[in-house]
Amino acid sequence: MSETATAVQRSQERAAPRDRENDFSIQVATANGSGSQSSNTVLLRALFQMGLPVSGKNLFPSNIAGLPTWYTIRVSREGWIGRKKEIDLLVAMNAETARQDVMALPPGAVVVFDAPLGVGTLRDDLASYAVPFDKLVEPVTSDAKLRKLLRNMCYVGVLARLLSIEPAEVERAIGKVFGKKAKARELNLAAARAGHEWAGKIEKKDDLSVRRLDLNRGKLIVDGNSACALGALFAGVTVVTWYPITPSSSLVESLIGYLRKYRVSPDGKPTFAVVQAEDELASVGMAIGAGWAGARAMTATAGPGISLMSEFAGLGYYAEVPAVIFDVQRVGPSTGLPTRTAQGDVLSTAFLSHGDTQHVLLFPGTVEECFTMGVEAFDLAERLQTPVFVMSDLDLGMNNWMAEPFPYPDRPMDRGKVLSREELERLGGFARYQDVDGDGIGWRTLPGTDHPRAAYFTRGTGHDESSGYSENPAVFEQNMARLRRKLDGARSLAPPPEVQGSGSAEVGIVAYGSSHHAVVETRAQLRDEAGIETDYLRIRAFPFAREVEAFVAAHRRVYVVEQNRDAQMLALLKLDLPAELLVRLRSVAHVHGLPLDARSVTEEIVGKERLS
Amino acid sequence: MTIPAGAPAPRTNRLGLSVVDYRGSKTTLCAGCGHNAISERILEAVFDLGVPPERVVKLSGIGCSSKSPAYFMSRSHAFNALHGRMPAVATGAMLANRNLLALGVSGDGDTASIGMGQFAHLMRRNLPVIYIIEDNGVYGLTKGQFSATADRGATLKTGVVNDLPAIDTCALAIQLGASFVARSFSGDKRQLSTLLKAALSHHGTAMLDVVSPCVTFNDHEGSTKSYAYMKDHDAPIHELSYVPPREDIAVEYDPGTTVEVTMHDGSRLRLRKLEEGYDPRDRVQAMTRLMESSRSDEVLTGLLFVDVKAPSFLDVLGLPDAPLATLPEAAVRPSRQALQEILEGMR
């Protein structure tokens, strides 16, 4: 029996019942629009404030009110913040899904449910608590509409007592969430207390609990869209154009809030312009127009918007105009699942538009990187004079994550190769697309530069070094070769991959973006449960850095983990790597709209290793 | 390209520049194309007014019309963008640098079909840009298909009849909120020149639909965009004269026959009424007359509508005087303390 097969066998022998202190997941099932978002944030924050590693994920429908929605919170003393596949505690508030939700639970799970739902007798292998929420909130307010919302804060109180969440932290979290709205704060405090008091009078029937740790010192809680917005703010963005689309709208909306607060001159004038465009054709067109005229310009969108932007993306590439496009990916094809997460725009965005177009993509894997890459994208776009895409996703963008404080940009802004009036005077003129520095990047001038030789004619048609119209075959080929050289240069300018592991493992894992959080946990599961050691490379940009090839060359089997059906990153790797390395690549690709979980990845890799 | 004989042609303008400084490359459009005449009128207007060429950005979409920015003002930056998408590029450029003078050239296909969405929203925003439609009713570069401004009943050379009603870009622009809407004819030198000068003096979107015959595909009997048709059907609503800022005019008009409009830069536009009672400051009247003219087969030309007080999009956004594009890092990157404060709120 091979070493791997032994390891697999070992993983199948179930360990003793695990200790669920500081290690469990909660799923709250409510109806969309019922006000559960605030309650779940309070729950998440209270756990976070107790120094426990937590993550929260909102699994919501494309709907304003009424359809079922779930929120999952994971507490992990090991620090795992990816989605956990198994649910340990269900809060059932939604009649529509309660039965189904309860039936899906693993044995030993806990159910806290709204008493009238009567799901306590469905199974005998669960610990159930029937909570009379309506009765509990009755004394809190006489307003029936408010009572409906307060039922949700009531379950926070119930869970706090059952799980031993410190009441003081719950109250602090309520203060944080409701801020200056004194009346709302008081009502919610009362609702949480009512739940807490009720749960104190019943018998505890489960083993889930929390105990204060000190693992979150200095950390923040923030969503990736806000982090991207802050990146753009500190990158000095001046022109923001957008068209609302889930899940990117909140990126621009939070940016607008920050801009209004931090980017107004002492004379009261904004140092920015925000335009809500008529569609994504216009939003990216405006960003390209602004980038051409010298502004740090951006737009944000999701898959359907990316499709519409393909025409301008090609123009930006070919006419060499900087712009930053944040793509907060959701599930496609077509309208797909607008409120669910995926990494499905990778391949189409890499080559977005017709002809030999190729783009620079950045892949933030954490909210910290949403910030740092948000800053870096603008430097890269202006340095390379090309559109740069920041490939976030719904999981990263719309969910709350723990984060280290963002570092203040340590470098001055890189505005790229722009000739001033004085430089033009000294040089006597310039040719826009001439590769004077050997890096494929020409020098540009900004419209309005007050010099008779500053002007050039920007076009999407064939052009020569001086930007004159040209259909000359040799000129065309030279220009296209230069553009390829320029994009090749991005390999060393864009953020390098991050590598973890000893480097001596036989098995390598390649992942990117939000898949990172499942992969780090998978590596531990593979090691602890199956004895499989792995090294891990996280791609952070396309075109790929040279380290990617070296990593694949150093491992016999390389699993490329991603959240799409067609193994899109693996396909990009195949285009880039030497033929002899391609046989080493294996795909672990999942797309179902839920954030990737480690268990599924581990099982698939273990299964494939067994066959190898 | 030369200044037409008979036009006042000083050797140099107020900037000390000569006509040569405003020239572009040689045109590659057909001989006799209306678009070439429009390029010449643009050149005259900017030369006469002493517009600094370095301040101008020439913007266009795709089509014969959109090639023409190459044929005037080589000392101005230009962006020949995508089919129907010039408004977005113009908007971005003006947001980045509000001191630019944006001169957009489009066509009837570029505007009234593929670019309709962006055209509509440009008019609505009143972005400071001159938007010229070189309107010949056909797609020239793809060899003569009808465009959406072709009149119902017009025929192609092949005998194909246009069954659908024309889109009146002027009526549309007025309805959408444009603040300067004119129609002219590439063959009417005096009217077009004057309108272009007035457009250069306007603060907001200045939309000019210029009927510009396509000599190759749409200048035959049966066309309503031919030179011959325009000679018979051009119906100017007034005689225009442009008075640059700080200049006086000696001629006195009978007040009842003349409307004077003071433009944003202090120049004045005198409109001697050919048509009783037409006041281009009246939006409703403008719409009514355009509707009537389409029934009577006349092509109403002149300044159809103007509102010199409408706030431009840049005013609405409250942008600073200095271009956003070149604000220094200190003005656009918030301080270390600002980041601290923001992060503190997330703990």
In angstroms, the separation between the Cα of residue B312 and the nearest Cα of chain A is: 14
Identify the pLDDT of residue A17.
52
Fold of the A498-611 domain: Rossmann fold (3.40.50)
Other Cβ atoms less than 10 A from the Cβ of B115: the count is 27
How far lies A460's CA from each of A321, A376, B99, in Å?
11, 27, 25
Best mutation target among B95, B100, B123 (most A Cβ atoms within 10 Å) is B95
Provide, as residue numbers in chain B, all residues whose Cβ is less than 8 Å from the Cβ of A278. Answer: 117-118, 120-121
Identify the pLDDT of residue B273.
83
B121: closest chain A residue by CA:
A278
Identify the pLDDT of residue B4.
58
Provide, as residue numbers in chain A, all residues whose Cβ is less than 8 Å from the Cβ of B100. Answer: 293, 447-448
Q: Which residues pair with A299 in a beta bridge?
A: A325
Beta-carbon separation of A447 and B118 below 8 A? no
Interface of B with A in 229-288 (CB under 8 A): none
Provide, as residue numbers in chain A, all residues whose Cβ is less than 8 Å from the Cβ of B85. Answer: 281-282, 285, 311-312
Q: Are strands A323-331 and A387-393 parallel, antiparallel or unpaired?
A: parallel
A461: closest chain B residue by CA:
B80
Provide, as residue numbers in chain B, all residues whose Cβ is less than 8 Å from the Cβ of A319. Answer: 79
Beta-carbon separation of A278 and B338 below 8 A? no
Q: H or E stretch including A537?
A: strand A534-539
Indicate whether A302 pLDDT > 60.
Answer: yes
Written as six digits, the tokens of B261 are 């409009």
Indicate whether A10 pLDDT > 70.
Answer: no
Beta-carbon separation of A448 and B323 below 8 A? yes
Is residue A382 a contact partner of residue A416, using CB atoms and an 8 Å limit? Answer: yes
Q: What is the pLDDT of residues B301-347, one digit of tens each?
A: 999 999 999 999 999 999 999 999 999 999 999 999 999 999 999 98
- Which of A258, A289, A406 has the CB atom closest to B91's CB atom? A289
Beta-carbon separation of B92 and A293 below 8 A? yes
Query: What does the pLDDT average to over A582-610?
Result: 97
Is residue B129 a contact partner of residue B102, using CB atoms and an 8 Å limit? Answer: yes
Tell me whether residue A457 is exposed, middle or buried, using C-beta atoms within 10 angstroms of its C-beta: 0 to 12, 13 to 18, 19 or more: buried
Strands across the sheet with B268-273, in order? B238-243, B268-273, B258-262
When pLDDT is cut at 50, 70 and 90, the band that residue A612 belongs to is confident
Provide, as residue numbers in chain A, all residues whose Cβ is less than 8 Å from the Cβ of B54. Answer: 448-452, 454-455
Work out the percent of chain A whose per-residue pLDDT is above 90.
94
**Residue B87 touches chain A, beta carbons under 8 Å:** yes
Beta-carbon separation of B77 and A271 below 8 A? no
Q: Where in chain A is the domain with CATH 3.40.50.920?
A: 498-611
- Which of A236, A286, A292 has the CB atom closest to B332's CB atom? A236
In angstroms, the separation between the Cα of residue B168 and the nearest Cα of chain A is: 21
Q: What is the pLDDT of residues B173-206, one digit of tens each?
A: 999 999 999 999 999 999 999 999 999 999 999 9
3-state class (DSSP) for residue B117: helix
When pLDDT is cut at 50, 70 and 90, the band that residue B276 belongs to is confident
Q: Where in chain A is the domain with CATH 3.40.920.10?
A: 23-200
- Dihedral sign for Cα atoms in the order A69, A28, A106, A518: positive
Three-state SS string over A348-391 comes to HHHCCCCCCCCCEEECCCCHHHHHHHHHHHHHHHHHHCCEEEEE
CATH assignment, A222-403: 3.40.50.970
Distance CA B337, CA B272 (A): 63
Provide, as residue numbers in chain A, all residues whose Cβ is less than 8 Å from the Cβ of B89. Answer: 285-286, 288-289, 292
Identify the pLDDT of residue A559.
98
Provide, as residue numbers in chain A, all residues whose Cβ is less than 8 Å from the Cβ of B92. Answer: 239, 241, 285-293, 295, 297
In angstroms, the separation between the Cα of residue B84 and the nearest Cα of chain A is: 10
- One DSSP character per residue, A381-441 reads HHHHTSEEEEEEEHHHHHSEEEEPPPPPP-S-----SB--HHHHHHHS---TT--TTSSS-
Least confident interval from A5-19, A60-74, B45-59, B183-197: A5-19
Identify the pLDDT of residue B297.
87
Indicate whether A538 pLDDT > 80.
Answer: yes
When pLDDT is cut at 50, 70 and 90, the band that residue A1 belongs to is very low
Work out the percent of chain A whose per-residue pLDDT is above 70.
97
When pLDDT is cut at 50, 70 and 90, the band that residue A12 belongs to is very low
Distance CA A72, CA A74 (A): 7
Mean pLDDT, chain B, as a whole number? 94
Identify the pLDDT of residue A13.
42
When pLDDT is cut at 50, 70 and 90, the band that residue A6 belongs to is very low
Query: What does the pLDDT average to over B158-176?
Result: 96
Beta-carbon separation of A457 and B81 below 8 A? no
Interface of B with A in 44-63 (CB under 8 A): 52-55, 57
Q: What is the pLDDT of residues A376-392, one digit of tens each?
A: 999 999 999 999 999 99
Distance CA B304, CA A501 (A): 73
Best mutation target among B28, B66, B72, B85 (most A Cβ atoms within 10 Å) is B85
Provide, as residue numbers in chain A, all residues whose Cβ is less than 8 Å from the Cβ of B91. Answer: 241, 275, 282, 285-286, 289
Q: What is the pLDDT of residues A313-356, one digit of tens each?
A: 999 999 999 999 999 999 999 999 999 999 999 999 999 999 99
Q: Which residues contact A360 (CB under 8 A, 6 or more apart)?
A: A380, A381, A384, A386, A387, A388, A389, A487, A490, A494, A541, A542, A543
B343: closest chain A residue by CA:
A405
Provide, as residue numbers in chain B, all residues whose Cβ is less than 8 Å from the Cβ of A445. Answer: 77
In angstroms, the separation between the Cα of residue B301 and the nearest Cα of chain A is: 30
- Dihedral sign for Cα atoms in the order B3, B9, B14, B17: positive
Query: What does the pLDDT average to over A1-24?
Result: 57
Query: What does the pLDDT average to over A290-303?
Result: 98
- One DSSP character per residue, B82-95 reads -TT-HHHHHHHHHH
Query: What does the pLDDT average to over B147-155?
Result: 96
Indicate whether B272 pLDDT > 80.
Answer: yes
**Residue B75 touches chain A, beta carbons under 8 Å:** yes
Indicate whether A250 pLDDT > 70.
Answer: yes
- Which of B55, B93, B339 has the CB atom closest to A234's CB atom? B339
When pLDDT is cut at 50, 70 and 90, the band that residue B275 belongs to is confident
Q: What is the pLDDT of residues A252-292, one digit of tens each?
A: 999 999 999 999 999 999 999 999 999 999 999 999 999 99
Tell me whether residue A12 is exposed, middle or buried, using C-beta atoms within 10 angstroms of its C-beta: 0 to 12, 13 to 18, 19 or more: exposed
When pLDDT is cut at 50, 70 and 90, the band that residue A65 belongs to is confident
Query: What does the pLDDT average to over B272-283?
Result: 87
Query: What does the pLDDT average to over B123-133?
Result: 98
Q: What is the pLDDT of residues A91-104, one digit of tens each?
A: 999 999 999 999 99
Identify the pLDDT of residue A321.
98
Indicate whether B10 pLDDT > 70.
Answer: no
Indicate whether B91 pLDDT > 90.
Answer: yes
Q: What is the pLDDT of residues B22-37, one digit of tens each?
A: 999 999 999 999 999 9
Beta-carbon separation of B99 and A448 below 8 A? yes
Indicate whether A2 pLDDT > 80.
Answer: no
When pLDDT is cut at 50, 70 and 90, the band that residue B287 belongs to is very high
Identify the pLDDT of residue B295.
85
Distance CA A11, CA A337 (A): 35
A179: closest chain B residue by CA:
B345
Beta-carbon separation of B324 and A272 below 8 A? yes
When pLDDT is cut at 50, 70 and 90, the band that residue B294 belongs to is confident
Beta-carbon separation of A286 and B70 below 8 A? no
Beta-carbon separation of B77 and A279 below 8 A? no
Higher pLDDT, B11 or B234: B234
Best mutation target among B98, B101, B333, B335 (most A Cβ atoms within 10 Å) is B333
Mean pLDDT, chain A, as a whole number? 95
Identify the pLDDT of residue B249.
61
**Residue B95 touches chain A, beta carbons under 8 Å:** yes
User: Which ipTM value was assigned to this complex?
Assistant: 0.95
In angstroms, the separation between the Cα of residue A584 and the nearest Cα of chain B is: 43
Indicate whether B80 pLDDT > 70.
Answer: yes
Provide, as residue numbers in chain A, all residues whose Cβ is less than 8 Å from the Cβ of B96. Answer: 238-239, 289-295, 297
Q: Where in chain A is the domain with CATH 3.40.50.970?
A: 222-403
Fold of the B19-325 domain: Rossmann fold (3.40.50)
Identify the pLDDT of residue B257.
80
Can you list the positions of beta strands (E) in chain B?
A: 56-60, 77-80, 101-107, 129-135, 138-139, 145-146, 180-185, 205-211, 234-236, 238-243, 258-262, 268-273, 299-306
Fold of the A23-200 domain: Pyruvate-ferredoxin Oxidoreductase; domain 3 (3.40.920)
Identify the pLDDT of residue A3.
42
Is residue A375 a contact partner of residue A349, using CB atoms and an 8 Å limit? Answer: no
Q: Which residues pair with B158 in a beta bridge?
A: none
Best mutation target among A44, A50, A228, A408 (most B Cβ atoms within 10 Å) is A408
Provide, as residue numbers in chain B, all residues whose Cβ is less than 8 Å from the Cβ of A357. Answer: none
Provide, as residue numbers in chain A, all residues whose Cβ is less than 8 Å from the Cβ of B120. Answer: 278
Beta-carbon separation of B92 and A290 below 8 A? yes
Provide, as residue numbers in chain B, all residues whose Cβ is less than 8 Å from the Cβ of A220. Answer: 343, 346-347
Query: What does the pLDDT average to over A453-460?
Result: 98
Provide, as residue numbers in chain B, all residues whose Cβ is less than 8 Å from the Cβ of A277. Answer: 88, 121
Query: What does the pLDDT average to over A480-498?
Result: 98
Provide, as residue numbers in chain A, all residues whose Cβ is less than 8 Å from the Cβ of B339. Answer: 230, 234, 406, 408
* Interface A-B: count of C-beta contacts within 8 A: 215
Identify the pLDDT of residue A14.
41
In angstroms, the separation between the Cα of residue B158 and the nearest Cα of chain A is: 31
Indicate whether B6 pLDDT > 80.
Answer: no
Beta-carbon separation of B88 and A295 below 8 A? no
